[in-house]
Amino acid sequence: MSDKKKSTQYSLFFIQRFKGKVLFNVPMSEYTSLRIGGPADVMAFPQDDADLKNLITFAEDKGFPYQILGNGTNLLVRDGGIRGVVINMCEGFKEIIWQDDMRAVAGAGATLASLLNGSRDRGASGLEFAVNIPGTVGGAVVMNAGAYGVEIKDVCEAIELIGRKGKPALVKKEDAGFAYRKSDLPKGAVVVRAHLKFERNTVEEIRKKIDEYRAKRRAAAAIHMPNAGSIFINPEGHIAGRLIEEAGLKGERIGGAEVSEAHGNYIVNRGNARAKDVLALMALIRDRIYGTRGIVLEPEIKVIGED
Ligand SMILES: Cc1cc2nc3c(=O)[nH]c(=O)nc-3n(C[C@H](O)[C@H](O)[C@H](O)COP(=O)(O)OP(=O)(O)OC[C@H]3O[C@@H](n4cnc5c(N)ncnc54)[C@H](O)[C@@H]3O)c2cc1C
């Protein structure tokens, strides 16, 4: 289909059948914590489930690819950007409903910070590990975000999805395929809400735990340049950041990308980094660690888009 025809189809759909905001030719660098990424053809912000269902159905019918975006804090978007539609969950799905003091249904676009604040104030314990993790509930569920041995799966009971053909589904925790920094939800499915269950504790104890976790994050907190958190998953029995530090790679640079001096597993954007710089630096790190230690580092960040 020609670009002109595609753009007419998009326009008609968004005018006639979509309630949320729509942007065209959007620099993804404005929507990722690394501040890197070429333009997305279209970014749509569904307002509610019906909007999302319509959008998925339309994209599938027309064969337009779609990509789901939370806060973009675990993403590297390539320099050529993203063809098709980026579905941004951060406007229409922010609601957190507390069913009682220990149970909440949180929208995928709600930030972990807002959920943590609400749970802390109710004496609902379980999410303290998420202090200073800048993602959304949806991104955290898909990535099974965690820290210090605790993960979102520990508080997540079920997940509401909108899947292929706009079909809704409720997936129980045990069927979500949660593992270290990943889940196994159906391909193309959008997380719309997570059902969460907390443990009762005192507000003071929860605050104390949060402070303890925050203190452990000293190295990362010292990083003031754009980044996407840990670049690599910890290989079994090892800590990726330590391996990288021991290999003498802290401070290593390619173009505008640099291995952080403060934390070996963080790559920072010194201001003008391109995705190709980050990818080349990741390849250099992987080669060096494999060459010297025989250990394969697997990326934690998701790399999307075109060169
Ligand atoms: C400073 C810093 C510290 C961090 N510390 C940690 C940490 O301690 N532990 C940790 O686990 N992570 C950490 N992260 C990484 C990141 O914050 C988490 O993985 C977070 O959960 C990602 O959420 P997001 O909304 O930003 O997701 P995005 O980056 O927007 O997306 C991540 C992936 O999830 C998919 N996705 C997002 N939302 C949805 C949805 N609603 N439905 C379906 N798919 C979706 C995207 O398509 C993409 O594949 C850190 C990041 C930074 C920048």
pTM for this prediction: 0.97
Q: What does the alpha-carbon distance between residue 137 and residue 107 come to, in Å, rounded to a whole number?
A: 7
Determine the pLDDT at residue 5: 82
Two structure tokens written together for 107 = 């929208």
pLDDT tens digits for range 175-214: 999 999 999 999 999 999 999 999 999 999 999 999 999 9
3-state secondary structure of 24: strand
C-alpha 299 – ligand 1 centre gap (Å): 13
Q: What does the alpha-carbon distance between residue 141 and residue 153 come to, in Å, rounded to a whole number?
A: 7
Q: Which residues does a 6 A CB cutoff place in the pocket of ligand 1?
A: 33, 67-75, 89, 108, 133-136, 138-140, 142-143, 145-147, 190-191, 220, 227-229, 302
C-alpha 183 – ligand 1 centre gap (Å): 12
Active site (annotated) includes residue 78: no
Two structure tokens written together for 123 = 């004496």
3-state secondary structure string, 48-75?
CHHHHHHHHHHHHHHCCCEEEECCCCCE
Two structure tokens written together for 206 = 């929860």
Counting atoms of ligand 1 from 1, which one is nearest the CA of 217? 8
Measured by CA distance, the residue closest to atom 34 of ligand 1 is: 139
Active-site pick, 128, 160, 258, 300: 300
Beta bridge partners of 254: 257
How much of the chain exceeds pLDDT 90, in percent? 93
C-alpha 186 – ligand 1 centre gap (Å): 18
Active site (annotated) includes residue 230: yes
Q: What does the alpha-carbon distance between residue 37 and residue 59 come to, in Å, rounded to a whole number?
A: 22
C-alpha 72 – ligand 1 centre gap (Å): 6
Two structure tokens written together for 299 = 């990326």
Q: What does the alpha-carbon distance between residue 38 and residue 55 come to, in Å, rounded to a whole number?
A: 23
Counting atoms of ligand 1 from 1, which one is nearest the CA of 304? 49
* Domains of the chain and CATH, by start: 3-88 (3.30.43.10), 96-216 (3.30.465.10), 224-304 (3.90.78.10)
Two structure tokens written together for 98 = 């507390």
C-alpha 293 – ligand 1 centre gap (Å): 29
Q: Which of 28, 133, 159, 266 to mutate to test the pocket of ligand 1 (most atoms within 8 A of CB)?
A: 133
- The H or E element containing residue 243 is helix 240-246
Judge contact between 165 and 126, C-beta under 8 A.
no
Active-site pick, 103, 181, 288, 293: 181
Q: What does the alpha-carbon distance between residue 270 and residue 297 come to, in Å, rounded to a whole number?
A: 23
pLDDT tens digits for range 60-89: 999 999 999 999 999 999 999 999 999 999
Q: How confident is the model at residue 8 (pLDDT cuts 50, 70, 90)?
A: confident
pLDDT tens digits for range 92-143: 999 999 999 899 999 999 999 999 999 999 999 999 999 999 999 999 999 9
Q: Which of 28, 36, 66, 73 to mutate to test the pocket of ligand 1 (most atoms within 8 A of CB)?
A: 73
Active site (annotated) includes residue 181: yes
Measured by CA distance, the residue closest to atom 47 of ligand 1 is: 68
DSSP-derived secondary structure for 141-198: HHHT-EETTEEGGGTEEEEEEE-GGG-EEEEEGGGTT-BTTB--PPTT-EEEEEEEE-
Counting atoms of ligand 1 from 1, which one is nearest the CA of 73? 26
Residue 9 has pLDDT above 90, yes or no: no
Two structure tokens written together for 276 = 């190709």
C-alpha 76 – ligand 1 centre gap (Å): 11
Determine the pLDDT at residue 187: 93
- The H or E element containing residue 26 is strand 21-27
CA-CA distances (angstroms) from residue 124 to 72, 104, 197? 27, 10, 9
* Region of 270 on the Ramachandran plot (φ > 0 left; ψ -120 to 50 alpha; else beta): alpha
Residue 57 has pLDDT above 80, yes or no: yes
| Contacts of 223 by beta carbon, 8 Å cutoff, 6+ apart | 260, 262, 263, 266, 268
Two structure tokens written together for 12 = 């008609």
